[in-house]
Each structure stands twice: as C-alpha cells, then as structure tokens.
A and B are shown apart, each in its own frame.
Chain A
Amino acid sequence: MRHINTQLSRYGYILNLGVMGVLLAGILRVVFQLYADGLYPLASALSAITVFLALVYLRRRFTPLRWFAIGVGLAMLFTLYPILYTFYLSVTNMGSGHLMTKQQAIDRLESQLYMPEGGKTYGWAAFRSPDEAYALWLLPEEGPGLLARPGQPLEEAMPGEDGIGAPDQDGIPLTIDGYERLAQNQVVPIISALGAIDFGEPPDTVRIRSLREAVTLKPKYQYDPDRDVMVDQETGTVYRPVEGTFTSDDGETLTPGYIVYVGLHHFERFLGNERFREPLIKIFLWNVSFAFASVFLSFAVGLVVTLLFEGLPGSRVIRALLIIPWPIPVLVSILIWRSMLNPDLGFVAPLLESLFGSSPAWFQNAMWTRVAVILVNVWLSYPYFYVISAGAIRSIPHEIYDAAVVDGASAWGKFQHITLPLLLRILMPLLIASFTFNFNNFNVIYIFNFGLPPMPNTIVPMGQTDILISFVYRLAFITSNVTDYGLAAAITVMLFLLISLMVVFQARFTNLFREAD
C-alpha cells in the first residue's frame, strides 16, 4: 500500500510539475511581452505572483496554502496591484504629453527628420530587383537623372546607357538591368516600407516623402547619453531634461515628453492650498451627510410603508405599485426627476408657485439642490427597504407581540420596543452596506446636476453637491482633452486614505454592535 501511495504521489508530482510548467511558460511569455512593451510595474507584479504560485504548488511544505493561493494571487493582481500602481502614479507626472518612458520618447524624437541646407527635392520612380532590393530613379529639378541605391553613392546616369533602358516621356528609364520598374499601383501598397529606406550613402541620404517627392533628409535630433541631453542637429541647440521634457535654455520644449518621478508635488500643490483643503472638507462632510440621510430616510420611508400597508385589503396591489420605482432604470428615473423639477419646463415649479407663491431653485441653490438629490435618492431606494423590512417583519415571532399585549403595551410601544430593535438587528448589515454604496453613489449626484451648483472661489472647479467620487471624476476625466493621471492618482490616494478611515470606523461600529448582542 505504502509503495503504491508514493508512486501515485510521484506521478502526481510529475503531473503537477507538467501543468505548472506549461502555466509558468504561458505566464512568462506574457511577462516578457509586458517587459518589451515597457510595462515594468505590471511585469514585476505578475512575476512576483507567479513565483508565489510556483512555490505554493511545488513545495510540499506549502500544501495547505493551495486552497486559497489562486484567490490570493488574483486579489494581489486585481486589488493590491491597482492600489499600489495608483500610489506609484501619484508621484509621477504621467498625463497628456507625458505618457511614454524616456527611451520611447528619445526614440520618437530621434526618428524625426529634417531637410538640411542644400538638400534637394526630386521626383522619383521605384525599381525592384528579384531579391527584393529597391532602387530609386531620382529626377532633380534640373540636370540628369540619378540612380539611388541603399548604401551606395548616388550615380548620375543617362537613360539608354550602361544597362539603363530608354526613357519614357518624364525622363525615367523604362528598365534598369537587374531591376523591374514598379507601376504606381505596385508602389502604393509598399510606399510606407519604401519610405523607411535611406537611399544613397550616408550622410547624403534621400528618402521618399510623398508619392511625388523624395528629398535629402537627416535625423533632426540625436540623444547624447553621456551628457543626458538631446541635440538638435540642424541648429545645434541643446535640450536638457527638465521635469520629463527636453527643454532648451530658451525654454523651447520638445514633444513628446516622458514620465518622471515628481515626488509629492501633486499633494503639495493642493493640500498646501487652503482654498483646496477647505472645500474638500466641505465635500467630505456633505458626502457623509448625503450617504447617511439617504440611508436613514429610505429606511424610514420603507418601514412606514411596510407598517401602513401590512394586512390592509388590496395590499398586494398597493405593494406592486410601490415597488414601481425599483425596476425603472436608475438613469431614467433620475432624468425624469430632473425634468419634473426643471423650473422652466417641469410641472413642480408652477404647482409650488400656485400653492406657496414661489418655487425653490432646485438646480442653482446649494441647499435646495441637496434636498432634491436626497429626495431623488430616497425615491430610488425606498422600495428596497420596503421589500426587505416587509420580509424581516414577518420573521419576528408573533408570541412576543402577544406577550406585549398581555402586558398592556400600546401600538407605539410595540413598535418602539419590539419591532424596531429586532428589525435593526436583522437589517443592520444591509444598512451599513447601503451606506457604503451611497457614499460612492456617483449616478444620482452626477446625472442629477453634475455635482453643481459650483462653489465660489475654489482653486479647482468644485460643486456644492459634489461627493468625493464625482469631484475626482470631473477634475481628472471630464475635461474633454486633458488627462492628468498623476494628479488624478494623487487625489485618489487622498480619497483612499479618507475612505479607509471611514471603513475602519464602520468596522468598529459593526463590531460594537456584535458585542452588544
């Protein structure tokens, strides 16, 4: 028996090794590709996770870890990695104009060409030899034609001599010995490849610039790794790296720039400014109040509705009607509310005006916009609380109420001392989850009024009904053609820390609740 067991496990081990081998080979392939694309952080993270998995599955000592190693691996890749990457981004200048690594930016700049003084423009025709070598026939503005081959000096040649065929009406030979002339529709498909070839002997090389023109071109910039500067070959200007951009002494800059470490720059930029800090605290406080008010009011409305319609005749129909807000897509509900409250088009304004003589500015006044947002959110979420509290109430044993009645409890007393505490016990986890959800309830805030009305005198645009998430979104992504990832990451990190604090508090709160049981 013992013998068979070891043998089996040996086979098992070999199988394990084989599967892991294939898996690792696959992952390694991906890692190499990521390295090649310059995605070093992701490649390193993936490597680390792979080593971890390999250890767990190949070392017998770690067998117990196998049960959750995959889960941990995925958590590292999809949760921990993005968080760490955000931290990394927050100390870089990554953003529009700075999206590449330094090497990529250098390659980009070095591939730019210019036409040197005394450079010439030619008409051209392409020829191809059977072994796929190309030659150009160049037609200068005046003078005889030139035969240009890669790596060889330009040769003046006369059509009809030295193996060069008779000219056509443009003066281009119809044939060249060893080469076949390419027609336009043969040239066009390969024109990009042709355009990458330097014809002639360096430094006097000619390149195709368009279907009609070939010109003398030279590299415009050259990187000097010893001095770490970029030198303009045309003017001799020296560009030094300044904050991820090659900059000349006159302040001229070269694009594209590249990603560099900028330290705590983004944090200092805003946290150091009280016209950023104070509004941010305002946003945070409103965010907490919004989430709290939404949960509290939705729950209250849901509960009242439950109690009112419990056991009434026709309650099924009423219940069905009350759940209506639920199946309507949130987006549609919010937009309907938005148009109902519209002061010029909606029916709410004339109604309120006829009743009270005036109607609040639902979209301009900070307080009324907040009221409206909470109102809409309560409308959206009370059916949820209605359904769950209606369910939960039935689970409260009827005997307790009977006992209370015997003790002479009033209806309010029953609610206060039996229904509410027992319901809260059952529903507390849901309430907390709902609070967390509403804390980041981007939809309601953003679709209803984009976080507006604006706060006056802030250093970046901020809205009176902005919550943290909508504020960051507007700052980092809504501006249609600017993307400042470094800044967005820095603010996300700040929010991450704020929200982490919240989570710690919540955890405390739930724990307290448990102890109270």
Chain B
Amino acid sequence: MAKEEHDIIVCRCEDVTLGEIRKAIREGATTLDEVKRITRAGMGPCQGRTCRLLVAGEIARYLGKPVSEILQSRYRPPVKPVKMGDLSVISEEGENSGCKCREEVTGQ
C-alpha cells in the first residue's frame, strides 16, 4: 500500500492523502484534532464531514483501539465557512430574513 497510499485521498476539501495521515499518526498524533492541525484534514468547506470517520479509523487501527475511544475533534461553530463580513452584521432582531411569524413566542 506504501506507494498507493499517496494516490488515495482522505480529505477531499484539503487534498490530504492517506500517506500524509498515516505519517502524522506514526509521528505521534493520536487524536482527530492533532491530525487536523498537522495535515489540515477536516479544515475545508465540509469541516470534516467526509474524512472524520476515516481519520478516526486510521488512528484506531494504528493504536489497536476501538474507534469509540479515539478523541473526537471539537465541533466549533460555524459548521461551514462563512464570510467575515457576513458575521459582522449579525441581525439581533431577525430583520434580515423579514420573517414575521416568529414574534409571538413563549417557550421555556
């Protein structure tokens, strides 16, 4: 697999290969966040939706642990890339969407 693992893409957003993921794990990365910071896997537009389980599987296999024991990455908002300019004009009143049917509300 050694040569082929460089033709296998794990993170499509950031073009990270299986070879790069395995190298990071061999060099000591044992959590999804560590692999992410070293390789950028999971930092693209889909924020790891596609590669997260694949990376967790690779770490689990290397460490001989079940996937359930591999530390998951933090899921900070926003879950997809957003323009800084858009974030700077967050509407407090909801006037952006012009939707009026949410005014009368009680809740908890």
Whether both chains belong to one complex is answered with: no
